[in-house]
Amino acid sequence: MLSVILASLDNMKAEDTVTIDLTGKSSIGDNMVVTTGRSQRHVASIADEVVKDLHKAGVARVRVEGQRVGDWVLIDAGDVIVHVFRPEIRTFYNLEKMWSGRAGDARSAN
């Protein structure tokens, strides 16, 4: 599932994609992906494409929050949680710092 998500993000020109291993840190999933879109429209389009690609890959239960506004879209695909942000929103929340624990835990996917 993670490879489908990362390929979808790459195809949609998402920027600064980071994957955080959640093993031993949380029961919400195995991985968290944080990425950026250039505008509200780009954020919403990225999220839409990720959801479509997950459905094509057979992932049935995908929940999405925030797509209509397009500032921050959360995609819950079960084992993988995806956050798609506009740049200033990503900077404000700084999820990578909160979830990585230490700088070496966050690894770039691009």
Task: State the number of CA atoms in the 13 A half-sphere of 57 facing the CB.
Answer: 17
Q: What is the pTM of this model?
A: 0.87
Task: Confirm whether 91 is domain-assigned.
Answer: yes
9, pLDDT greater than 60: yes
Mean pLDDT of 23-30: 78
Mean pLDDT of 32-57: 97
Which are the contacts of 61, defined by CB distance < 8 A and separation ≥ 6? 77, 78
Task: Confirm whether 8 is domain-assigned.
Answer: yes
| Owning domain of residue 36 | 2-99
Task: Confirm whether 40 is domain-assigned.
Answer: yes
78, pLDDT greater than 50: yes
> In angstroms, rounded to a whole number, what is the distance separating the alpha carbons of residues 90 and 67?
15
Q: What is the DSSP string of 4-69?
A: HHHHHHHHTT-EEEEEEE-TTT-SS-SEEEEEE-SSHHHHHHHHHHHHHHHHHTT----EEESTTT
Task: Confirm whether 109 is domain-assigned.
Answer: no
| CATH code of 83's domain | 3.30.460.10
Mean pLDDT of 18-41: 89
Q: Which H or E element spans position 107?
A: strand 106-108
22, pLDDT greater than 80: yes
Task: Confirm whether 105 is domain-assigned.
Answer: no
Higher pLDDT, 28 or 14: 14
In the chain, the number of structural domains is 1
